């Protein structure tokens, strides 16, 4: 499934808001003397990624941060950290070493570090150089939703020194409310001019609670954001390569992320029967959740199908539970995929992102890869995904994490995805 | 996917976003419109203004308003060319949808046109449904909540308590009711006005909300009666809560520029198996009366004996009302004589109940109930009228006697603004001179309720009626009010008289009081004189007048007149 890359020239926004950091040595808005002393030309930009699977948090942060610090003083650091680590400690360790750089991050369901896909580790993605401007934001939500939190976080755009190309990176609590609301809330502020990318924090598939990092602080039920503005083009690629299993069905009853009936039949029964679910899956919630990982729903859109991850089921009321809205009245597909389609989507998303650079040389990529895609590949073939990524990026730095949902708004006003790979390429 | 028709289900998706439970329904609807056709911009224009918009910043939105009449097919934005479609919604409103790079095709325009009108109609239906729901909610709120304080009213309190009682399991925490009544609340209304009284009740409601735990229920039953429903593991928990409420509610409040301090009395009842909500609240109410009996600002826990007491009091109350109606409450008169000549100069009128079955009843048998029920005002004014009529009547037969009359009134009667009217009518109908009448009160009543009584005192003063201060020496004994108010008599308390010849301190006190009375030119009456020894000492100390069993018990009018006749006879003989 293709998605349009979007390169958006921007003008400065005007409104102000809460909890934001801005780092720009050229504008000198909140720049530190250390940053001011860097002698960088306007065209200089760099991206660096580090990773570690060391169990000790201090050692892991040290190992993952080493290649970044070797590249210079970063302006933005994204910390993707397995919940097996103490995120507060990891954030503090990173913050201690990156000076005035903006720091956001989240807990994960696996990490993408250079040349490898890891679990239980730490991946750190960073950019620097005079050709980037950065600001970061935080929005604290509640159990009832994240729309306002996403708007609050997106207001970091207000303090950003705008260059030719801007993107807003969002990291949200993937277990809080309807994730469509994150895109809608951020879009309320970013508007048509600024594309959105990002992912929902994970918790190593425990599906209990995720965490978001803003500076040294760790939050839950929150959205953190980083606005990146660059002199050079940015490209976004989105692809999932899932295929419909049969004809679409009318969503005859749903309420947000709870799907009651499909074609006026209990949604859970329709789903189990269509996929010919084994007996043990039909009564055990944990087995069901694991089994459903590779059997998403698809929502019919104008020229594509958007994927909705089935996160669980209510066996009493026979409802399917998703982590993003399945609108009543819409058309839903049962979707299927295999290792080949997952790998194909990887290649396609990375390729699309790089094409969005309009010929400018790629400096690095940031990936938001659904954890369900990893489940399809399983450990023995996960390395093939890395090979596909490497085929596009060459030996340039790439990093990211395995998510509970992906964000990519490149056209229209929507842009929440599941079981999809979202790639942000930076020149 | 071209074989799958897409437009109708998109319309269905958009309209499904309308929900009376969602205060942001219209905002979500325009999000869905945008997502349905991959539009970057969606706005609703009404009467030249934008009511909802996504995709455009505040600085770009005026562009839509500027083209609200000419409806161009595209607009130039910084991001590129925005192809637009302007769908009429009805009543002059427009649904404006914009997409970058790609114009809307025929099917999309048809869909957006249908969406525009459907959204308007759905919004109107939603508005009507919301208004209907709000009206229902308001009606329900009005029916179940007290409008002034916003607290649940009696019916809701009973419903909630009933629900709690039905859920209670043996061994669980016990449902507990605290019945909170403000002591002397009527005086706030009388003295400061009803607006201040309302403010006070609102303040009490707020205090109760603040003091209780989050799961507790605070309600207002009526007037100054509040209730707290909580659950407690031990009786001490409820007592601690009651103490906290008393401490908080008793803090002075600024009402109409004046600091007002009033305490609550609290009755506590614990639900027992099989109790109904009504029963538990009744029990708490009874306990509250027990708390009042203990003094102001107290609490008491219910025990079953209280119900028997309450039934007894209810029977007395009904009987007393009947007795008042049938004229069974009558003034009895106790003589007051001067010293040292032992000449009868007047009487103190005291209430007695001539009960048809129980005989003559002393005040201790019925005054408590009369005060609790408010009957005391009726009884006091009745005694005043009848006693004045008796004394006034004797003037015809004994014109040479200038008899004085003291009439006891309760605190409630004295604070009643209509007391001076009753006094004026009693004087007028009886023909008594105003300077012969003394309204007898305790010094505590005068000083403690000074704000409540100041106007009454001023009007009595204008009538020429003076005050007799009963039980002088036992209360505040402020000399200031003796000068400030029209006090004509000080009555020295019987407890000091009892000590004469026995307790040196009592003697000193009596002497001091006599000194005060002389200095201020106020007549002094010693009460409770029962022995010749006491009398002798009072003569020695220079006391003006005495009353007590030594000179006669309170008696009916006939017996009192006999005393008067005897004195007249002796005077003639002398």
Residue B513 lies in a domain: yes
Report CA-CA distances (Å) from A377 to A203, A275, A296, A370, B518. 19, 19, 15, 12, 112
- Picking from A311, A336, A361, the residue at the C-terminal end of a domain is A336
Is the CB of B12 less than 8 angstroms away from the CB of A15? no
Nearest chain A residue (CA) to B39: A412
Residues in chain A within 8 Å Cβ distance of B36: 301-302
Distance CA B449, CA A238 (A): 82
Run of H or E residues at A123: strand A122-128
**Average pLDDT of adjacent 10-residue blocks, chain A of 427 residues:** 31 33 34 32 79 95 96 96 96 96 96 86 96 96 86 95 96 89 95 96 91 96 97 94 89 92 96 94 90 90 87 94 88 88 89 92 94 78 78 83 94 91 95
Interface check B479 vs A, CB under 8 A? no
> What letter does residue A129 receive in the DSSP assignment?
S
Which residues have C-beta within 8 Å of that of residue B473, sequence separation ≥ 6?
Answer: B492, B493, B496, B509, B513
Least confident of A27-36, B23-32, B268-277, B344-353: A27-36
CA angle in degrees (0–180, nearest 5) for B298-B302-B308: 115
C-alpha dihedral, A214 to A215 to A216 to A221, nearest 10°: -10
Tokens of B116: 């525009």
pLDDT of residue B177: 96
Residue B118 lies in a domain: yes
Mean pLDDT of B49-60: 91
Residue B542 lies in a domain: yes
Is the CB of A250 less than 8 angstroms away from the CB of B4? no
CA angle in degrees (0–180, nearest 5) for A360-A365-A367: 145
Is the CB of A250 less than 8 angstroms away from the CB of B9? yes
Distance from CA of B40 to the nearest CA of A (A): 4
Residue A12 lies in a domain: no
Distance from CA of A315 to the nearest CA of B (A): 25
In this structure, the answer to whether residues B331 and B354 fall within a common structural domain is yes
Q: Among residues B280, B257, B254, which one has the least CA distance to residue B267?
A: B280
Interface check B50 vs A, CB under 8 A? no
Distance CA B70, CA B73 (A): 9
Is the CB of A192 less than 8 angstroms away from the CB of B38? no
pLDDT of residue A13: 29
In this structure, the answer to whether residues A29 and A173 fall within a common structural domain is yes
Give the A:B interface size as CB pairs under 8 Å: 94
Nearest chain B residue (CA) to A166: B79
- Picking from B143, B177, B198, the residue at the C-terminal end of a domain is B143
Mean pLDDT of B345-351: 94
Nearest chain B residue (CA) to A304: B1
In this structure, the answer to whether residues B11 and B132 fall within a common structural domain is yes
- Picking from A288, A305, A336, the residue at the C-terminal end of a domain is A336
In this structure, the answer to whether residues A210 and A155 fall within a common structural domain is yes
Is the CB of B13 less than 8 angstroms away from the CB of A330? yes
In this structure, the answer to whether residues A227 and A124 fall within a common structural domain is yes
* Best to test chain B binding among A302, A308, A333, A416 (most B CBs inside 10 Å): A302
* Best to test chain B binding among A248, A250, A408, A412 (most B CBs inside 10 Å): A412
CA angle in degrees (0–180, nearest 5) for A179-A183-A187: 160
Is the CB of A8 less than 8 angstroms away from the CB of B39? no
Residue A9 lies in a domain: no
pLDDT class for B138, splitting at 50, 70, 90? confident
Is the CB of B13 less than 8 angstroms away from the CB of A305? no
Q: Convert B485-494 to b/e letters by CB count within 10 Å (16 or more is b).
A: bbbbbbbbbb
Distance CA A270, CA A255 (A): 17
Is the CB of A414 less than 8 angstroms away from the CB of B39? no
List the end-to-end C-alpha distance of chain B, in Å, as a whole number: 134
Beta strands at A217-219 and A212-214: parallel, antiparallel or unpaired: antiparallel
Residues in chain A within 8 Å Cβ distance of B38: 301-303, 411-412, 414
In this structure, the answer to whether residues A212 and A300 fall within a common structural domain is no
Report CA-CA distances (Å) from A263 to A44, A248, A250, B10, B307. 56, 10, 5, 16, 65
Tell me: pLDDT of B539 over 50: yes
In this structure, the answer to whether residues B259 and B384 fall within a common structural domain is no
Interface check B12 vs A, CB under 8 A? yes
In this structure, the answer to whether residues A110 and A189 fall within a common structural domain is yes
How many CA atoms lie within 13 Å of B219's alpha carbon, on the beta-carbon side? 22
Question: Of the spans A102-111, A336-345, B42-51, B333-342, which averages the highest pLDDT?
Answer: A102-111
Positive or negative: CA dihedral B196, B200, B201, B205 = positive
pLDDT of residue B477: 55
Distance from CA of B48 to the nearest CA of A (A): 21
pLDDT of residue B574: 64
Tell me: pLDDT of B472 over 70: yes
Distance CA B67, CA B48 (A): 10
pLDDT class for B183, splitting at 50, 70, 90? confident
Distance from CA of B200 to the nearest CA of A (A): 37
In this structure, the answer to whether residues A48 and A165 fall within a common structural domain is yes
pLDDT class for B5, splitting at 50, 70, 90? low
Residue A166 lies in a domain: yes
Write the pLDDT tens digit of every residue in B270-318: 998 889 999 999 999 999 989 988 888 899 999 999 888 888 888 999 9
Nearest chain B residue (CA) to A11: B78
- Picking from B246, B270, B303, the residue at the C-terminal end of a domain is B303
In this structure, the answer to whether residues B132 and B87 fall within a common structural domain is yes
SS3 at position A125: strand
Could you tell me which residue, B500 or A210, shows the higher pLDDT? A210
Q: Among residues B181, B179, B284, B283, which one has the least CA distance to residue B224?
A: B181
Is the CB of A413 less than 8 angstroms away from the CB of B35? yes
Cβ atoms of A128 and A71 within 8 Å: the answer is yes
Nearest chain B residue (CA) to A13: B57
In this structure, the answer to whether residues B465 and B544 fall within a common structural domain is yes
Nearest chain A residue (CA) to B58: A14
Residues in chain A within 8 Å Cβ distance of B16: 254, 327-329
Interface check B385 vs A, CB under 8 A? no
**Smallest Cβ distance to B16: which of A8, A305, A329?**
A329
In this structure, the answer to whether residues B128 and B35 fall within a common structural domain is yes
How does the average pLDDT of chain B come out, rounded? 88
CATH number of residue B78's parent domain = 3.30.450.40
Is the CB of B57 less than 8 angstroms away from the CB of A305? no
Residue B531 lies in a domain: yes
Residue B310 lies in a domain: no
| pTM tops 0.80 | no
pLDDT of residue A39: 37
Cβ atoms of B144 and B152 within 8 Å: the answer is yes
In this structure, the answer to whether residues A77 and A192 fall within a common structural domain is yes
In this structure, the answer to whether residues A100 and A206 fall within a common structural domain is yes
Residue B199 lies in a domain: yes
Tokens of B321: 């009302």
Interface check B54 vs A, CB under 8 A? yes
Tell me: pLDDT of B201 over 60: yes
In this structure, the answer to whether residues B433 and B558 fall within a common structural domain is yes
Nearest chain B residue (CA) to A303: B1
Cis peptide before A205 (omega within 30 of 0): no
Distance CA B469, CA B482 (A): 9
- Picking from A286, A319, A336, the residue at the C-terminal end of a domain is A336
Mean pLDDT of B350-378: 91
Nearest chain B residue (CA) to A302: B37
In this structure, the answer to whether residues A196 and A60 fall within a common structural domain is yes
pLDDT of residue B340: 87
pLDDT of residue A24: 36
In this structure, the answer to whether residues B294 and B356 fall within a common structural domain is no
In this structure, the answer to whether residues B284 and B354 fall within a common structural domain is no
Interface check B34 vs A, CB under 8 A? yes
In this structure, the answer to whether residues B266 and B340 fall within a common structural domain is no
Is the CB of B37 less than 8 angstroms away from the CB of A412? yes
Distance from CA of A354 to the nearest CA of B (A): 20
Tell me: pLDDT of B447 over 70: no
In this structure, the answer to whether residues A123 and A174 fall within a common structural domain is yes
- Picking from B234, B268, B303, the residue at the C-terminal end of a domain is B303
Interface check B78 vs A, CB under 8 A? yes
Mean pLDDT of B425-451: 85
Tokens of B26: 């219209």
Alpha helices in A195-328 (DSSP H): 267-274, 285-292
Nearest chain B residue (CA) to A7: B79
Distance CA A422, CA A419 (A): 10
Nearest chain A residue (CA) to B55: A191
Is the CB of A192 less than 8 angstroms away from the CB of B39? no
Interface of B with A in 419-438 (CB under 8 A): none
Residue A168 lies in a domain: yes
Distance from CA of B129 to the nearest CA of A (A): 19
Is the CB of B4 less than 8 angstroms away from the CB of A300? yes
Distance from CA of A165 to the nearest CA of B (A): 11
Is the CB of A413 less than 8 angstroms away from the CB of B42? yes
Count the domains in chain A: 2
* Best to test chain B binding among A192, A261, A415 (most B CBs inside 10 Å): A192
Write the pLDDT tens digit of every residue in B236-271: 999 999 999 999 999 888 877 777 778 899 999 999
Q: Among residues B278, B289, B164, which one has the least CA distance to residue B232?
A: B164
Interface check B13 vs A, CB under 8 A? yes
Is the CB of B78 less than 8 angstroms away from the CB of A10? yes
Number of H helices, E strands in chain A: 9, 28
pLDDT of residue A28: 24
Write the pLDDT tens digit of every residue in B480-495: 677 778 888 988 888 8
Q: How many CB atoms lie within 10 A of CB B532?
A: 9
pLDDT of residue A361: 92
Is the CB of B79 less than 8 angstroms away from the CB of A250? no
In this structure, the answer to whether residues A174 and A53 fall within a common structural domain is yes
In this structure, the answer to whether residues A75 and A190 fall within a common structural domain is yes
Residue A15 lies in a domain: no
Distance CA B306, CA B56 (A): 73
Question: Of the spans B114-123, B309-318, B332-341, which averages the highest pLDDT?
Answer: B332-341
Report CA-CA distances (Å) from A364 to A392, A396, A425. 11, 6, 6
Distance from CA of B135 to the nearest CA of A (A): 26
Residue A285 lies in a domain: yes
Is the CB of B40 less than 8 angstroms away from the CB of A192? yes
Count the domains in chain B: 3
Report CA-CA distances (Å) from B103 to B7, B14, B81, B98, B106. 16, 21, 10, 9, 10
Beta strands at B174-182 and B264-270: parallel, antiparallel or unpaired: antiparallel
Residue B526 lies in a domain: yes
Residue A403: domain span: 20-239+341-426
Interface check B6 vs A, CB under 8 A? yes
Tokens of A362: 């790629």
Which residues on neighbouring strands pair with residue B145, listed in sequence order? B152
Residue B295: domain span: 154-303
């Amino acid at each position: 499934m293709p998605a349009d890359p979007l390169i958006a020239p921007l003008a400065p926004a005007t409104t102000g808001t809460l909890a934001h950091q801005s780092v720009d040595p050229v504008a000198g808005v909140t720049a530190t003397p250390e940053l001011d002393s860097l002698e960088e030309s306007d065209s200089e930009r760099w991206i660096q990624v580090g990773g570690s699977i060391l169990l000790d948090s201090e050692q892991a942060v040290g190992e993952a941060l080493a290649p970044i610090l070797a590249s210079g003083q970063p302006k933005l650091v994204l910390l993707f950290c397995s919940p097996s680590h103490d995120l507060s400690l990891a954030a503090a360790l990173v913050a201690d070493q990156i000076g005035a750089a903006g720091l956001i991050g989240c807990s994960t369901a696996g990490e993408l570090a250079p040349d490898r896909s890891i679990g239980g580790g730490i991946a750190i993605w960073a950019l620097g150089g005079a050709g980037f401007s950065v600001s970061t934001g935080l929005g604290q939500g509640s159990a009832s939703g994240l729309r306002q939190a996403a708007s609050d976080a997106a207001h970091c755009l207000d303090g950003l020194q705008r260059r030719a190309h801007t993107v807003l990176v969002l990291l949200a609590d993937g277990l809080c409310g309807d994730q469509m609301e994150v895109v809608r809330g951020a879009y309320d502020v970013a508007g048509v001019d600024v594309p959105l990318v990002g992912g929902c924090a994970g918790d190593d598939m425990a599906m209990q609670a995720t965490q978001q990092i803003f500076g040294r602080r760790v939050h839950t039920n929150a959205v953190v954001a980083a606005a990146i503005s660059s002199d050079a083009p940015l490209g976004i690629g989105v692809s999932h390569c899932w295929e419909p299993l049969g004809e679409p069905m009318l969503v005859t009853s749903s309420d947000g992320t709870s799907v009651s009936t499909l074609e006026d039949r209990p949604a859970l029964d329709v789903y189990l029967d269509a996929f010919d679910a084994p007996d043990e899956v039909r009564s055990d919630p944990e087995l069901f959740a694991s089994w459903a990982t590779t059997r998403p729903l698809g929502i019919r859109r104008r020229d594509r199908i958007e994927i909705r991850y089935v996160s669980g089921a209510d066996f009493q009321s026979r409802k399917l539970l998703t982590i993003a809205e399945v609108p009543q009245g819409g058309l839903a597909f049962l979707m299927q995929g295999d290792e080949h389609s997952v790998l194909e989507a990887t290649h396609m998303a990375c390729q699309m992102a790089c094409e969005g650079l309009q010929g400018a040389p790629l400096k690095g990529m940031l990936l938001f890869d659904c954890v369900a895609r990893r489940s399809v590949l399983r450990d023995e073939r996960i390395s093939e995904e890395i090979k596909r990524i490497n085929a596009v990026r060459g030996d340039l730095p790439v990093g990211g994490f395995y998510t509970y949902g992906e964000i990519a708004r490149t056209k229209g006003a929507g842009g929440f995805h599941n079981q999809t790979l979202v790639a942000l390429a930076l020149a | 996917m071209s074989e799958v028709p897409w437009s109708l289900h998109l319309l269905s998706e958009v309209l499904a976003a309308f929900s009376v439970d969602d205060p942001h329904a219209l905002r979500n609807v325009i999000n869905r419109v945008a997502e349905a056709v991959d539009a970057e911009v969606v706005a609703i224009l009404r009467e030249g203004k934008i009511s909802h918009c996504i995709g455009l910043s505040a600085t770009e939105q005026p562009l839509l308003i500027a083209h609200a009449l000419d409806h161009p097919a595209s607009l130039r934005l910084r991001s590129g060319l925005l192809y637009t479609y302007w769908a009429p919604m009805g009543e002059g409103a427009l649904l404006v949808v914009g997409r970058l790079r790609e114009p809307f095709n025929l099917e999309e325009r048809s869909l957006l046109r249908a969406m525009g009108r459907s959204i308007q109609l759905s919004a109107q239906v939603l508005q009507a449904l919301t208004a209907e729901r709000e009206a229902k909610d308001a009606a329900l709120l009005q029916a179940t909540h007290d409008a002034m304080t916003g607290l649940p009213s009696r019916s809701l309190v009973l419903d909630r308590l009933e629900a709690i009682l039905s859920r209670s399991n043996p061994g669980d925490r016990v449902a507990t009711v605290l019945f909170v009544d403000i002591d002397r609340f009527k005086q706030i209304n009388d003295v400061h006005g009803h607006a201040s009284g309302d403010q006070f009740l609102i303040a009490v409601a707020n205090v109760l909300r603040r003091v209780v735990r989050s799961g507790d229920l605070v309600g207002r039953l009526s007037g100054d009666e509040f209730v707290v429903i909580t659950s407690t593991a031990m009786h001490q928990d409820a007592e601690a809560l009651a103490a906290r409420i008393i401490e908080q509610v008793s803090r002075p409040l600024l009402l109409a520029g004046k600091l007002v301090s009033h305490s609550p009395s609290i009755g506590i009842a614990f639900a027992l198996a099989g109790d109904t909500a009504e029963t538990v609240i009744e029990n708490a109410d009874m306990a509250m009366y027990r708390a009042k009996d203990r003094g102001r600002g107290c609490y008491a826990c219910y025990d079953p004996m209280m119900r028997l007491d309450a039934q007894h009091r209810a029977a007395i109350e009904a009987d007393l009302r009947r007795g008042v109606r049938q004229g069974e409450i009558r003034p009895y008169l106790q003589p007051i004589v001067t010293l040292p000549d032992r000449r009868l100069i007047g009487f103190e009128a005291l209430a007695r109940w001539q009960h048809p079955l129980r005989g003559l009843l002393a005040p201790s048998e019925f005054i408590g109930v009369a005060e609790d029920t408010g009957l005391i005002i009726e009884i006091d004014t009745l005694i005043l009228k009848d006693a004045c009529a008796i004394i006034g009547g004797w003037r015809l037969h004994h014109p040479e006697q200038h008899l004085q009359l003291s009439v006891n009134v309760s605190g409630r009667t004295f604070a009643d603004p209509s007391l001076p009217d009753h006094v004026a009518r009693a004087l007028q109908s009886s023909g008594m001179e105003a300077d012969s009448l003394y309204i007898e009160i305790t010094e505590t009543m005068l000083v403690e309720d000074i704000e409540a009584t100041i106007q009454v005192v001023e009007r009595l003063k204008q009538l020429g009626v003076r005050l007799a201060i009963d039980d002088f020496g036992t209360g505040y004994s402020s000399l200031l009010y003796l000068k400030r108010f029209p006090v004509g008599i000080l009555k020295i308390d019987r407890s000091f008289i009892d000590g004469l010849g026995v307790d040196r301190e009592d003697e000193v006190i009596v002497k001091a009081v006599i000194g005060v009375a002389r200095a201020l030119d106020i007549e002094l009456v010693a009460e409770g004189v029962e022995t010749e020894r006491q009398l002798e000492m009072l003569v020695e100390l220079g006391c003006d007048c005495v009353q007590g069993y030594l000179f006669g018990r309170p008696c009916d009018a006939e017996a009192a007149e006999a005393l008067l006749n005897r004195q007249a006879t002796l005077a003639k003989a002398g």
